Amino acid sequence: MLILASKSKARKKLLEALGVKFRVMPARVKEHADAVRHPARTVAANALLKARDAARRVKKGIVVGCDTLVWQDGRAFGKPASLKEARAMLKRLSHRPHVLYTGIAVIDAASGREMTEVEETRIEMEPLSDREIAQYFRKVSPLDKAGGFDVQGLGGSFIRRIRGCYFNVVGLPIARLRVMLKKFGVSLLLVLCGFAVNGCSTEYNLATHKEDTMMYSTEREVAIGDSLAAQVEKNYTVVQDPQMNERLDRVGAKVAQASDRHDLTYRFRIIEDPKDKDLVNAVSLPGGYIYIFKNLMTVADTDDELAAVVAHEVAHIVARHSIKRLQAIWGYNILTILAGATKNAEAAQGVQMAYAFLLSGYSQEDELTADGMGAIYAKRAGYNPQGMIEFLDKLRKRQKKEPPQALSYFKTHPGYGRRIRATKEALGENIDFDDFIDTL
């Protein structure tokens, strides 16, 4: 029997999701408070204190104790005591990288054998404004969360990059725990555990020229895309205009063929928001789905311009930006998306969260990468890559006349000058002084 010496809801939920049989026995100890000098030693010592407390109350069983703290610039952050403290804490953490330490202690209650280890994960967030923090706190209570936010929920949308174990940020570094328990003769290699922990593969991405650690095969990525696409088509009207669809399919097919990824089928569709028919935007989803808003088709009135927009979205799919963001933020929770077609309430909620998360836009870094890659793909496909510059110039002029909509191409992408530079750099062109001036 596995015994969890913690009352953490996140840790309990993680083990339940992995199908692990265990019981909860919260520790009743006073924790060490030496984190300012030794954060790693402190979490290890506290985890051992908790495990020992629970082990003394049972005759047999494998006891797991944990302790977590957030560390930034020589300061430790725990759970905020008030909303004022939570606001100050979250704002500070969002503006500079921080490290999350988790100590794990495993004890065999029968023999008294002990083992402790520490997992360390670096987190980088998008800088948050006071308004964004206030909006978040209206939906999520920060008082029971270390650092004031939940990485597996809405707080996950704040995170730009996680370096290390995602599960550590959720509350329990499963991979490290699995190795520790194995030394005690306990196996966590159950169906879901094997998928989430050992199912990752490392592959070289031809587009980004980097090693990517992927938790999902192309087949699973397409399944996730199917669920998200159903959500998009539920919320928007799919445009059936034969002429417009023929144009998009023709341009899309050429761009897709010129891209660096051919292990999936690209699907191009035109959609329209019944409540805002002037919306100009494009959206890409895992598995090859690309949606172009009807009004964008009108604004991009040359095939060169349309090809540039399509190539940008294809580049997101080639680089797997959406699937990497989802696996970095939600980890095992994304499994619920695969059952999105069922009537399971948790699955439906998972689809809704992922859908809203992806439509809120990629990181600035991902957008600029897609600009550079997209320019190359458009050129390979036989189109003039300057089409993107021409298209952006049109949108810049439109923006001067009216404010952008919530999901407009301006709202979810970097400034004009930065995008021009990214495009020119990818094409090996000279960068002018004007290109360093962001006019958006």
Boundaries of every domain in the chain? 2-199, 204-436
User: Which CATH number is 2-199 given?
Assistant: 3.90.950.10
**What confidence score (pLDDT) does residue 24 get?**
93
Around Cβ 407, how many Cβ atoms within 10 Å?
17
CA torsion angle 390 391 397 402 (round to 10): 180
- Helix or strand or coil: residue 105? strand
- Helix or strand or coil: residue 204? strand
**What confidence score (pLDDT) does residue 341 get?**
47
Which pTM was predicted? 0.55
Concerning whether 144 is annotated as a catalytic residue, the answer is no
- Helix or strand or coil: residue 159? strand
**What confidence score (pLDDT) does residue 393 get?**
78
**What confidence score (pLDDT) does residue 246 get?**
97
**What confidence score (pLDDT) does residue 191 get?**
32
Around Cβ 322, how many Cβ atoms within 10 Å?
25
Distance, in Å, from the CA atom of 88 to the CA atom of 429, rounded to the nearest integer, reads 44
Token pair for residue 27?
Answer: 């520790």
Distance, in Å, from the CA atom of 257 to the CA atom of 383, rounded to the nearest integer, reads 13
Active-site residue, from 67, 150, 304, 435: 67
Distance, in Å, from the CA atom of 238 to the CA atom of 267, rounded to the nearest integer, reads 13
- pLDDT digits (tens), the chain, 440 positions: 799 999 888 888 778 766 678 899 998 888 776 655 688 999 999 999 999 999 999 999 999 999 988 889 888 887 788 999 989 999 999 899 999 999 999 999 999 999 999 999 888 888 888 988 888 888 888 787 777 777 666 677 777 777 887 778 877 888 888 889 889 988 765 433 433 443 444 454 555 556 555 556 788 788 888 888 988 998 899 999 999 999 999 999 999 999 989 989 999 999 998 888 888 889 999 999 999 999 999 999 999 999 999 999 999 999 888 877 776 555 544 544 444 445 555 556 556 666 666 666 667 778 888 888 888 899 999 999 888 888 877 877 776 666 554 444 444 455 656 666 777 776 666 655 454 444 44
